[in-house]
Structure formats: structure tokens, C-alpha cells
Structure 1
Amino acid sequence: MKKRILAIVLAAAMTGALIGCADKGKDTEKKEKITFVLDWTPNTNHTGLYVAQEKGYFEEAGLEVEIVQPPEDGAEVLVASGKAQFGVSFQDSMMPAITGEDAMPIEAVAAILQHNTSGIVSRKGEGMDRPKGMEGKKYATWDLDLEKATIKNVVEADGGDFSKIEMIPSTVTDEVSALESKSVDAIWIFYGWAGIACEVAGLETDYFAFKDINPALDFYTPVIIGNSDWMKENPDSAKAFLSAVQKGYEYAVESPDDAADILLKASPELDEELVKASQAYMKEQYIADAKQWGYIEPARWNAFYNWVNENGLSESEIPENTGFTNEYLEK
């Protein structure tokens, strides 16, 4: 009996030692490092990334992900250079990077939001609940060709005269103050942040979305872009990264309040009321009517670039199916 007990004790000790060694090996297992560059300061467009980081989804995928702020020339250049493997961009702004002889090795690999939530916000009751109402009003413009062509398109589609809009060169960073001070009358915004900010501030507004005027303007904004060369060489890592990110955004859909807390923990400088209200809005936008988070519908992607081509807004013709892939998303 004593020999049996001794054998059991020794076996238990050996098992414990083996488990300890296995745990130690697991702890010291080298994670693959990935750098992800944002497009702007943290906001609810990025919630799924911070959830994936906080919840350990990246770690479970064998990844060590660093989220960094963008340089002045944007995420596209950093991703194309290989200094970051992934980043945030927009179908409209990545257009020059994927065309012509100097095209960069980047492509969109996931849609953060399924539809274009941008449009024009204005003070309520001043007639700008429709594009024609912008006639005679002050619009804050970035003075970009694509931007002005978009405004012209929706105004003329509504029977308005684009030339009657007063274009005020302005980079508005506080939409509420700009509208309340009447320095401008109309601003291009993304409703999920700036539109919600107006609601939180108690400012009554009118708003129309570009996609509701012209379906070709329902382009993908924002998107996650990746370095094409790196992804071809590391397809499993690219898929593991996007799978973890997908879990993060799915969590934000299911638990928006908790996801908002995770974003606030990562960026405590953000306004809590705004983040919570924005997250409640965004939970309906991440997947919306798509079959899964991240999926890019080829027909809709192509429709926007075809519109760009037809209006001569790109230096080079953009062939269909340029600049995106669904290859690295979970099937």
C-alpha cells in the first residue's frame, strides 16, 4: 500500500511538472507582431480593434498587435511601405493609391461599416433637409474635386443649382460650434460620430445621406486595408488577424455598452456620453444587411469607381474589382 501511495504521489508530481513546463512554453511562445495604423484619433469606427485587443482575441490568434496613430500622409503610405501591415482607409481616399503606374501594394480587406453613413448636416428648419436646399447657403468645403463632384451630383439630382452654393474653405473639427455660430450652414459629416455629437449637444439638425440620393455613392467608408505583398506571403496570419477583428466587431454589435467601455478605457480622453450614444448607433452599421462583418460587395464597390470614371475624377481609369478582396475573411 505504501508503495502504491508513493507511486501515485510521484506520478502526480511528474504530471504537475510536465504541465508547468507546458505552461511555461506556452507563455514564452513567440507571438507574430502586427502593426495597425488608424486613420484618425480613436473613435467608434475602431471599437472592434480595441475589443479584440482587450478580450485577448489577437493573443488567441498568436498575434501581438500594436495600434498606432497615422502619419501626416495617411495610413496608405505606412501600409504600402510595409511599416504597418494593416490600417484604416476609405474607398474614396484610397483611390489615388491604387491607380496608375505608381500604384501602391494595398487593398481593402474588410468593410468596417457596411454602408456609407456620410451626408450633409445643417441647422433644423433652414431647408437643407434635401440637397436643393443648399442653394444660397454656406457649405464648408475641403476644396477637393471628388468632394465637390459629389455635392454637385446630389444637388443637381434634386433639381438644384450647384453654382448657387457658397463654398467656404474650412476644415471643421467641431460641427456643433460651427453650426451654432453660423460660420457655415452645411457640413459633410459621418453621422455615427458628428451627427450623434449634435444629438448629444441638444442641437436640432436636418440631415440627408448621399447614398439615399445616388446609390453609386453608397461606397465603402471606412475600410481596413492591408499590404498586398505581405498578405500574399503570410495568408494564414492575415486571416487570423481579420478573424480576431471580426470577433471584436461582432462583440460590439452584441454588447455595445461594454464595447464602449473598452474604447473609453483605451482612450479615456473621449467624451463618455458621446461614445455610448455613438456605439448604440454603430451596432446597427457594422454588419447591417450583409451576410457577415467585413464583406465587400463587388457590385457596389465597382459602382462607385464606375461613377468616378464616368465623371473623370481619376487620373487613370479604374478597372472593375480593383483595390479590394474578400479572400482573407472567414468564409
Structure 2
Amino acid sequence: MKRVRMMSRRGFLVAGLAATGMVASSGLAGCGFKPQKGVGSNSASGNADPELKMITFALDWTPNTNHTGLYVARERGYYREAGLDVEIVQAPENGADALVASGDAQFGVSFQDSMAGYVSGDAQLPVSAVAAIIQHNTSGIISLADRGITSPAKMMDHTYATWEMLIEQGIIKRCVEADGGVYDRVKLIPSTVTDEVSALSSGEVDSIWIFWGWAGEKCKLAGLDTSYFSFESVDKVFDYYTPVIIANNMLIKDDPKTVQAFMDATRRGYEDCIQDPDAAAEILLKAAPELERELVVASQHYLAEQYRADAPVWGLLDQKRWDAFYAWVSEQGFAPTIAAGAGMTDAFITA
């Protein structure tokens, strides 16, 4: 069995942020890299159908339940019915954004917060979000219950694993202060946690930023007694879109029919995940058998309620929510002023 690099969902975000310059000390990464074949890529055999249009989709990192709808759409022939041959590849460490911008991939996975570094100013990339994979922000802070971190202010005098990103630390600061705390009393420990269970159990850090659908479910399965609060529960401005499907702007402009065909088929895949998470989990495990079955099933059931959530259909992007977060980002000085609707389009997902 092919071995692939595994990283926490936290690590996926770090990769994307590093690529777009949202690390305090780094700039925009270049595009001189090649994508890696994804597990179960349907073009890996070299038997491409010449009557189908080839599409490359770049994951943010290794396959996980954020991506299941893509694998379902491919496994069940939805892409083929749409006239597409979709190859799913793993992006390099600095994410999918530059691959999509360069045209080496037509679509990929990114995050609204990491996109802030390139939707305005001098570092703009020709990339736009075309669909929300998960309707609401399911990330927040997890800690062991005995640390007593039941709200943001209680992060004071405890360690927090920071990956030293401007927006990341800005969100933590806003949450702590909104809860009446003093941000400077949070003990920042530079660390990219790849195993939340071990990090919390060993006392390596007291609190970690996680995406509940993967790391939270993993901690539950490990039997950890934890406390958790989500960012959007503290301030609705943090109910931004993470993760999203991005597309190359030239493709959007010159070939909207292909974008629509891809998105219609992808939407069918995610709707199947919502309706039957167990079957969806099996399809993901078939594509990526190195994943832990129990975690995939648990995560798939959690996300079945989150992919669409309260939206009328999967994938909708609310420009008001999108703009509200970017207004906050600009107000904090983390990026130049971002124009309304910059970096997104709602043209391909309609209720």
C-alpha cells in the first residue's frame, strides 16, 4: 500500500496560509512545483477517455472527509456523466492555491482566511472560491477538561499551540478580549500539532485550534474528556468559509460551462454524503485505505450534518458573510482593503 503524508486539519490550514504570505515572516510562495498523484486518482492508469474533458483537482493535503463528495462523484460516475475525467491530486506542502492559479489544476481546496493574502493588493492570484464545502466554520479551541478552559478568557495563563499566523493570532486575541480576558496572558507556544490526542494527553500544550469534524472526533474516539468552544459562537464575524472549492479565474471566464458541469456533479457527490454517510465513508476508504476506518465513519456522520447545515442546498456562498470577515481582516491591518465579493463567486451554486 502506498504510504502518504498525514497531517492534522490544522496542518492543512498552515500549508495554505504559508503559501499566501499570511505567516508573519514569509512572502508568497512560487509556483514551481508539481502536484502529487492522489490516492485512487482515476487518471493514474493512463486510460483517459479522449471524449472526456480532463480536469485536475488539487486537494489541500492528504484525502480526508472534507473531500469525500469528490470521491463519491467520481466513484458513482457523476463526473463522467458530465463529460469530465477528473484526476484528484495531492498538492505540495504550500497548498493548492498556486497550482490552481498557474493552471496546473483547474480546481482545488482552500480556506477563506488563507485566501485573504491574495485577493487584494500586489499579491493577487487569479483564483476564486466557487463553493463552500462546509456551510459554517466548524473550528475552535479544544483543551482537556481539567485545564478549565471553558471560554476564551480562560486561555489566560495556559499554553496555546500557535502556528504564528497573523489572522490566526488576531482571531484568538479578539475572542479572548471579547470574553473579558487579556490576550498577552495567553502563553503562545510555536507548534504545528499533528497529533492532537498526544499533544493534549502529554501536556505538550493546553489548548489547540482544531476543526471538530476531524480532530474533535479523533479526541472523542480516544476517550479524552475535553472542553471546546467554537470561534463563531464568540463572534459571528468568524463564521467564515473554511474550506472552499476554488477555481482558476481564466477557466471561470472562458469556460463557465465546464465549471458548471464540474460543480453540478460535485454537488451530487456531497448530497450523497449527506444522505448516506456510511456509504460515503466506504468510498473514501476505498480511495484512501490508509485512513483509520473508525475515525472516517465518525467524521463522515458529523459532517453529514455540516456540509449543507441550514442552507437550502450544498455549496452556497453568502457574500454578506464573506465580506464581513474580510472587512474585519482589513480593519485589523492583516491585508489591504478587500473589495466586496473579491475572491468568490456565487454563480455556480444556486438554490
Partner of 2:337 in structure 1?
317
| CA-CA distance at 1:112 after TM superposition | 0.1
Q: Which moved more, 1:256-265 or 1:27-36?
A: 27-36
Partner of 2:168 in structure 1?
147
Unaligned 5+ segments in structure 1 are: 1-26
Partner of 2:3 in structure 1?
none
| CA-CA distance at 1:102 after TM superposition | 3.5
1:116 paired with 2:137, answer: yes
SS in 2 for 1:97: coil
**Counterparts in 2 of 1:329 and 1:43: CA distance versus 1, 3 Å:** same
| CA-CA distance at 1:320 after TM superposition | 1.3
Give the alignment partner of residue 348 of structure 2, picking from 306, 328, 331: 328
Partner of 1:44 in structure 2?
65
**Counterparts in 2 of 1:28 and 1:267: CA distance versus 1, 3 Å:** closer
SS in 1 for 2:289: coil
Give the alignment partner of residue 278 of structure 2, picking from 253, 257, 265: 257
* Counterpart mapping for 1:1-331 below 5 A: 30-314=51-335, 316-330=336-350
Q: Distance in 1 between matches of 2:339 and 2:149?
A: 36
- Give the number of equivalent residue pairs: 304
* C-alpha contact (below 8 Å) 2:61/2:92 kept by paired residues: no
| Residues 208-233 of structure 1, C-alpha deviations (whole Å, 9 max, x = no match) | 00000000000000000000111211
| CA-CA distance at 1:72 after TM superposition | 2.6
| CA-CA distance at 1:326 after TM superposition | 1.1
| CA-CA distance at 1:29 after TM superposition | 6.0
AA at the equivalent of 1:121: I
SS in 1 for 2:232: helix
| CA-CA distance at 1:329 after TM superposition | 2.2
> Identity over aligned residues, as a percent?
55
Unaligned 5+ segments in structure 2 are: 1-47
Q: Distance in 2 between matches of 1:158 and 1:200?
A: 30
- Structure having the higher helix fraction is 1
Partner of 2:22 in structure 1?
none
Q: Distance in 1 between matches of 2:240 and 2:269?
A: 23
| CA-CA distance at 1:98 after TM superposition | 1.4
Q: Distance in 2 between matches of 1:317 and 1:62?
A: 40
* C-alpha contact (below 8 Å) 1:142/1:170 kept by paired residues: yes
Partner of 2:24 in structure 1?
none
Question: Bigger radius of gyration, 1 or 2?
Answer: 1
SS in 1 for 2:112: coil
| CA-CA distance at 1:147 after TM superposition | 0.7
TM-score, length-normalised on structure 1?
0.90
**Counterparts in 2 of 1:258 and 1:99: CA distance versus 1, 3 Å:** same
- Runs in 1 of length 4+ with deviation above 2 angstroms? none
Q: Distance in 2 between matches of 1:158 and 1:29?
A: 58
